[in-house]
Every structure is written in C-alpha cells, then in structure tokens.
C-alpha cells in the first residue's frame, strides 16, 4: 500500500466522487457568472471611452483577480464545516484515528483533497478565462498554479480554526471577518494602491493579494509588487505555518 496519508486522501476523494455535482454551482458557475457580469457590465462603465487607467480592459483586469479569489474561497470553504463535522458530527477523524492513521496522515490526506478541489475550481475558471480571451497567451496558464498556491496556502489555517472552535456558529466568523474583506480589499477589483496606507498593509498580509499579483503578472505580463519569488515564498510560508498550526489543533482535538 501507499503512504497511509494517501488512504485518508482517497477517503475524501471517493466521497467527492459521489457529491461533486452539488459543488459545481458554488465553485464554478457562480464565479464564472460573476466574472462575466462584473467584467462586461461593470466593465462597460469603468472602461468608458477614455480608458480606465488599469492598463487593460476591466474584464481582463479582474479575471486573474477573480481566479485567485475563487481559489482562495474554495481553500477556505472546504475547511470549515467539513472539518468541524469531522470532529463533531460525522466524526470521520475519530474513525480514522481509531485505525492506524496518525494525526499527520489524517491532516495531510484531507489537505491533499483540498489541493485537488482548489485545482479543479481554478482549472474550470482558467477555461472560462480562455474562452473570454483573458489569458493573454500561453504564459497566462501560469496563473493556474499561482491561484492554486494562493488557495491552498490559507486552507490549513482554516482547518486549524475549525478544529479549535467548539461552536459551529463560530464558523460564520470566517466568512464575515475573512472572506468578504479579503475579496474586497486584496486588489481583486481595483489596485490596492488606491487604498489608504492601512488598507495597503492589510492587503500585503493577505495571501489573496499575493495570489492576485502573481495571477495578474501571468495573464497581463505586468510586473508584480514584490517580485515573483517573494510572493511565492510568502505563500509557501503560509502553507507551512498553517500545516504546523493545524497539526497541533488536530492532535489536541483528537485527544481532548
């Protein structure tokens, strides 16, 4: 047999094989419609006759931003109720821990599945971008790994949070405090340079902004704020730190 974490990974994959239809709407259709709606409708006003000052059509400007934002939302959304349920309702994690899987196997397996989910959603979005002509050539395909990295980088932290709380209502905090501000103030819809300094600092902390920078660089060929290695490194740092925090939270929750 392969590594035990692969067995845990397969568990989620098999479950997804039976439930994927229900996820298409949330993680593919809605973002795609959003892109078309914002890009064409809002873009019609933004672009105007004299240009928008963004260096590209509004559609082409927000497409890479929405790609990163979609990936991040999947990375967050799949780590909330699913993880909480694993400890409190379905107790999937307890079932796995009762078998010879380690906490690390269980966590790695589930995160591996999140990586798959983020990749599927991002790939679908990239296809739509291609159809709308907003990829800007083959280089634009690099936006896919960039978005996946951004989405994945935040997943483990959300896992840790969902593993720590004892009230399901506290999951809403993630959506209110994290998801909405993230997508509004991370340079998805307008450049962060137009925000006051405080906003710019918050954007710099947010992994989404780093993902947006990378995706935009891929599709529009524009330079990034910090340089590609710095953005990638920052996102990898989030990924690694999140893993450590989540592993601790999982171990605690499975022995409380």
Nearer to another protein, 47 or 78 (CB): 78
CB 109 within 8 A of CB 7: yes
Is residue 249 close enough to count as binding another protein by CB under 8 A? no
Helices (H), the chain: 4-19, 21-24, 30-36, 43-47, 58-77, 81-88, 92-98, 103-131, 143-164, 171-173, 180-184, 197-205, 207-220, 228-253
Taking residues 1 to 30 in sequence order and writing x for each that binds another protein by CB under 8 A, - otherwise, the string is x--x--x--xx--xx--xx-----------
Is residue 256 close enough to count as binding another protein by CB under 8 A? yes
Is residue 90 close enough to count as binding another protein by CB under 8 A? yes
Is residue 89 close enough to count as binding another protein by CB under 8 A? yes
d(CA 238, CA 246): 12
d(CA 11, CA 9): 5
Nearest alpha-carbon partner for 246 in 140, 121, 162: 162
Contacts to another protein from residues 187-216, by CB under 8 A: none
Nearer to another protein, 113 or 234 (CB): 113
Contacts to another protein from residues 96-135, by CB under 8 A: 96-102
With H, G, I as helix, E, B as strand and everything else as coil, classify residue 134: coil
Nearer to another protein, 80 or 183 (CB): 80
- Residue 68 Cβ vs another protein, minimum distance, rounded to whole Å: 31
Which residues would be at the binding site for another protein (CB under 8 A)? 1, 4, 7, 10-11, 14-15, 18-19, 85, 89-92, 94-102, 254-256
């Amino acid at each position: 047999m392969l590594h035990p974490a692969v067995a845990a990974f397969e568990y989620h994959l098999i479950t997804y094989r039976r439930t994927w239809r229900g996820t298409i709407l949330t993680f593919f259709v809605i973002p795609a419609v959003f892109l078309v709606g914002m890009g064409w409708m809002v873009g019609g006003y933004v672009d105007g006759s004299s240009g928008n000052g963004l260096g590209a059509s509004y559609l082409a400007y927000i497409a890479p931003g929405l790609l990163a934002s979609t990936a991040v939302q999947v990375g967050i959304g799949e780590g909330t109720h699913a993880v909480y349920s694993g400890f409190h309702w379905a107790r999937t994690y307890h079932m796995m821990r009762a078998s010879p899987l380690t906490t690390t196997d269980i966590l790695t397996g589930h995160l591996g599945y999140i990586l798959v989910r983020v990749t599927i959603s991002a790939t679908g979005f990239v296809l739509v971008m291609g159809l709308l002509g907003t990829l800007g050539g083959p280089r634009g395909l690099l936006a896919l790994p960039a978005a996946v990295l951004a989405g994945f980088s935040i997943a483990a932290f959300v896992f840790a949070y969902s593993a720590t709380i004892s009230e399901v209502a506290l999951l809403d905090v993630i959506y209110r405090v994290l998801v909405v501000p993230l997508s509004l103030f991370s340079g998805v819809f307008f450049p962060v340079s137009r925000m006051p300094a405080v906003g710019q600092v918050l954007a710099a902390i947010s992994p989404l902004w780093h993902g947006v920078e990378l995706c935009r660089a891929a599709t529009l060929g524009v330079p990034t704020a910090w340089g590609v290695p710095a953005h990638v490194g920052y996102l990898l740092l989030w990924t690694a730190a999140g893993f450590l925090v989540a592993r601790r939270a999982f171990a605690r929750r499975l022995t409380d």
